[in-house]
Structure 1
Amino acid sequence: MKEESLIDFSGFGPIGLVVIQPTSFCNLDCDYCYLPDRQLKNQLDLDLLDPIFKTVFTSRFLVRDITILWHAGEPMALPMSFYESAFAKIADASQKYNTQQPVSYQYSFQTNGLFLNQAWCDFFKQHPVHVGVSIDGPAFIHDAHRKTRTGRGSHAGAMRAISLLQKNNIPFSSIAVITEESIDYPDEMFHFFLSNGITNVGFNMEETEGIHEASSLDRADVAERYQSFMKRVWDLTVQHEGALKVREFEAICGLVYTDTRLDNTDMNKPFVIVNFDYQGNFTTFDPELLSVKTDRYGEFKFGNVLHDTLESICATEKFQTVYQEMKGGVELCRTNCEYFGVCGGGAGSNKYWENGTFLSDETKACQYRIKTVTNIVLDSLEASFIN
């Protein structure tokens, strides 16, 4: 173990996102989900919120405003009263600990929407809360994978939630998981979002991670179809003058138009994202790695708020092993890949679940999410300049 005083903290943070797992339970049983305990009704003890936010607010890595994201399970499976108490406890913790260099914070929920009703909307407006809704497109695509525990599709419930959010003028974004079923229907996917007034969507490709051991996008014939799908969505985005903002295109265009290049990502730089599970265990890097069990690194948690700080765990053997391999993997990407400037070295979770180690470079996730999208955008922009 290194002494904490010998650690170089200069490349760590700043914290921008705090992910809290209020419960491991989810009312859906999506067949591509990575979470191992989503059938268990584990719940965060409200008394842990004071030490959690003491850990955050007193950290040397906290120098800017943060988002507190309730995630890693279905947050709205817990009653509204839980969050009324939770928000009050966080406000109390902020008064006690957020004093040296005070920062603001905002709340965000990532939800499947099935529990959302007018009372929840009133609650979100009161605080306020940003909402992310998981919806995979039209019903015939969405319901193929996002089913209840009794095997029923969840599309109608998700759409009811979206209608309520729109009726109440509550800002929301959406995430769609792209599977093999999706990629043959780019027009249907695009027009579904546009026609339903959903103006902001992120495409999460179905990934091999956690307990989801094989993605439908791993099959040999998929890469070309995926490229055709994204190319068509890009063409439709251009035709409709950006009326539907697709996160992947927005990210690449932002880098191109500002002539910016990445040196890392939030998911491979320590303490930009900090993740807490329902027991107060914490980690950094990808939220998808929170408390999962790995063959190479053991259970993926670095400490617990009852006896550790973000700074103290930096001296531990586990953190140093993960950090050095994560950093080495980023350097491999920097050395070997011409797309590094628009990628920043990728996500450790993808590298581990696909390659078995953070100390690696290219993944399928990289090929699809970065290389394919970058080529489509750059080819289109170059053609427009020529013409």
Structure 2
Amino acid sequence: MISSTTARPDLSRFGPIGLVVVQSTSLCNLDCSYCYLPDRQKKRVFDLDLLPLLVRRILESPYAGPEFSLVWHAGEPLTLPTAWYDQATAILQRSLKEHGADGLEFTQHVQTNATLINDAWCDCFRRNRIVVGISVDGPEDIHDSHRRFRNGRGSHAMAMKGIEALHRHEVPFHCISVVTADAMEQPERMYRFFRDNGINDVGFNVEEQEGINTSSSMQGGAMEAKYSDFLRAFWRLSEQDGYPVVLREFDQVITLIQGNQRMTQNELNRPFSILSVDWQGNFSTFDPELLSVASDRYGTFNLGNLRELSLVESTQTAQFQRLLEDMTRGVETCHKGCEYFGLCGGGNGSNKFWEHGSLATSETNACRFGTQIPVQVLLERFESGPPLTPQPTH
């Protein structure tokens, strides 16, 4: 079906750091049923005095590249005031200039549930050039069955007000939608929701077993078949309607296939391609969802604190070496045994850990939903008609 004739993965290659995920606050105003984060009811705030040190740690390391994006995430970033992000932006710009990194391509992002977005936030996004990602799960009943406030009230109405504000201020945004069993029977409603609300750049995150969310409604062969049908119907509607809702899962795979490219690993399993920092300044690499996670097998996935350890020094610790060894074993197992390897690069460590208790494993439920099923649906579509071209991202 898919050729996996790719070069052997080489995890001795580190970086470059392309993504820096920073927890501006641990607090979230929602209590989503599938959230993996503990203690999200506590307001712990990242100390902005750490930002210059974070920039220095990146730029002094051999893993710094020509560009990176900083994403405020892991909590609800907008529970902090707009002035906090004004100050953060000023500090970041000053720090980059002081380190002679004026030519470095830097972008700042925020991932938000959209419930707090208003005119003031839109002004903040624009003046600080913050790229906006929102999370919304579709029509009201589907969304509100999982994305609720702590008092049990659904969050859909407030999220839609936030989306309306973004449109009104012409602030572009992309969307992440967590797909649960509730949506499987309703691909037309899901498609029309995104179309009718001007949301044309969407990534489906199938509900995962991770963190404190110890089970998923999207497990088992029956749900895999339903998800295949769901994606087929969603794609067909998008083609027929003339309003392409660009799905991240399809767009990425189409680009790889048509470019005759094959992955040998991905940013989630290549050391220091991603740097994640929690509100205390503790940092990790690999998958951001492993940040500050504690386990019997690995202890914490954190490698150290910015105040005490450089990135290079962290790679010399026994903790990093153990994580790297198991991550490498897991990627190599995927390479040897999975025909989809060239299109995913060895999977995500967090999914392997949450589902199997170890990084040194291969196929996961998340692999099947995130890569295998979308690829199968796309190949069917390739075979049934003219070749598809990647849809333009807006």
TM-score with structure 1 length normalisation?
A: 0.95
Partner in structure 2 of residue 28 of structure 1: 30
Partner in structure 1 of residue 381 of structure 2: 380
Superposed displacement of residue 223, structure 1 = 1.8
> Does the CA contact (< 8 Å) of 2:77 and 2:111 recur in 1?
yes
CA distance in 2, matches of 1:294, 1:237: 43
Distance 1:57 1:327, change over 3 A: same
1:165 corresponds to which letter in structure 2?
Answer: L
Equivalent residue for 1:60, pick from 59, 62, 68: 62
Partner in structure 2 of residue 39 of structure 1: 41
CA distance in 2, matches of 1:52, 1:125: 24
State the Cα deviation string for residues 91-145 of structure 1 (Å, max 9, x = none): 221122244x941211111001111110111111112111011000000100000
SS, match of residue 107 in structure 1: strand
> Does the CA contact (< 8 Å) of 1:58 and 1:98 recur in 2?
no
CA distance in 2, matches of 1:336, 1:284: 25
> Does the CA contact (< 8 Å) of 1:46 and 1:86 recur in 2?
yes
State the Cα deviation string for residues 226-278 of structure 1 (Å, max 9, x = none): 11111211222332456110111101111111111111111011111100000
- 1:192-207 matches, within 5 Å, as 192-207=193-208
Partner in structure 2 of residue 212 of structure 1: 213
After TM superposition, the runs of 4+ consecutive aligned structure 1 residues lying more than 4 A away are none
Superposed displacement of residue 146, structure 1 = 0.2
Distance 1:126 1:210, change over 3 A: same
2:325 corresponds to which letter in structure 1?
Answer: Q
Partner in structure 2 of residue 336 of structure 1: 337
- 1:69-108 matches, within 5 Å, as 69-99=71-101, 102-108=103-109
CA distance in 2, matches of 1:192, 1:338: 35
1:180 corresponds to which letter in structure 2?
Answer: A
- 1:1-387 matches, within 5 Å, as 11-99=13-101, 102-219=103-220, 221-241=222-242, 243-384=244-385
CA distance in 1, matches of 2:140, 2:22: 30
CA distance in 1, matches of 2:292, 2:183: 30
Q: Report the more deviating stretch, 57-66 or 250-259.
A: 57-66
Cα-Cα RMSD: 1.6
Report sequence identity in percent. Answer: 43
> Does the CA contact (< 8 Å) of 1:57 and 1:98 recur in 2?
no
CA distance in 1, matches of 2:11, 2:371: 29
1:312 corresponds to which letter in structure 2?
Answer: E
Partner in structure 1 of residue 5 of structure 2: none
Superposed displacement of residue 221, structure 1 = 2.8
SS, match of residue 311 in structure 2: coil
Superposed displacement of residue 177, structure 1 = 0.2
CA distance in 1, matches of 2:320, 2:139: 42
CA distance in 1, matches of 2:240, 2:60: 49
1:325 corresponds to which letter in structure 2?
Answer: D
Structure 1: 5+ residue stretches without partners: 1-7
